[in-house]
Amino acid sequence: MFLNFLVLKVMLKGETDEARVKSVNGLMILVKIIVWVIGAVLVLDNMGYKVSAVVTGLGIGGIAVALAAQAVLGDLFSYISIMFDKPFMAGDYIVFDDVMGTVENIGIKTTRLRSVTGEQIIVSNSSLTGSRVKNFKRMVTRRGLFTLGITYGTPKTKLEKVPAIIEGIINGVPCTKFERSHFSSYGDSSLNFETVYFVEGNDYKKYMDIQQEIYMKIYEAFEKEGLEFAYPTQTLYVKK
């Protein structure tokens, strides 16, 4: 009873997901069976019965079962690891390898995800614990980066204004933090400026709305300053 209380207390601390609670309760049945078998063997041993043959049989049988169900046991231990470590929970949006989706259910053998295109993705728990998982639900800020190309021939005095213009626009948009804006490189057909900023929260739609607002304001500001966006061009010199 104490073991049952202790495990449930740790694994279900602050847990509200009903499916997760049921999974842990099902796992506890297996734990209880193992504990009762070990207890029964110890009681028989104390009563004077020769249990060495039973213990040997259980050992050999356990090895045989472990070899036969190696993949299943691997997923089971991975499930226990997920329960204790909690790298993700139901409702979290995660990405690993080439798979991405929202976690719907964490089972003893598999975890089920719902992809952005609607289909359900079922993956083994061992695949998840053996991969590098990105949990976007726990993202505090989202980083934005973009590069703008200005046409060659733009006066130096106008080029010097670009970082300040972009900084002023980003600082004027709520929930954003300006990081930097620099003249980063000479491109094949443009003078490139690289900008980095951060958006508070993990809402992707909010991030895209803010990005769109920034882009529109930059376009408007460049029109007023007479700054032209570059596009791929080639100059061909013909020698007569």
Residue range 55-83, pLDDT digits in tens: 565 565 555 555 445 567 777 788 888 88
Angstrom distance (rounded) from CA 114 to CA 121: 6
Residue range 185-218, pLDDT digits in tens: 999 899 999 999 999 998 889 999 999 999 999 9
The pTM of the full predicted model, rounded to 2 decimals, is 0.65
Angstrom distance (rounded) from CA 2 to CA 8: 10
Residues sharing a CB contact under 8 Å with residue 136, sequence separation 6 or more, in sequence order = 92, 93, 94, 95, 202, 204
Q: Residue 187 is encoded by which pair of tokens?
A: 């491109």
Per the prediction, the chain carries an average pLDDT of 81
Residue range 105-135, pLDDT digits in tens: 888 889 999 998 899 999 999 888 888 999 9
Which H or E element spans position 62? helix 52-68
Give the residue among 169, 152, 153, 185 at the shortest CA–CA distance from 222: 169
Q: Which amino acid type is present at position 216?
A: M
- The angle at the Cα of 167, spanning 161 to 171, to the nearest 5 degrees, equals 150
Give the pLDDT band of residue 10 (cuts 50, 70, 90): low
Phi-psi region of 136 (alpha: psi -120 to 50; beta: other; left: phi over 0): alpha
Sign of CA dihedral 66, 70, 73, 77: positive
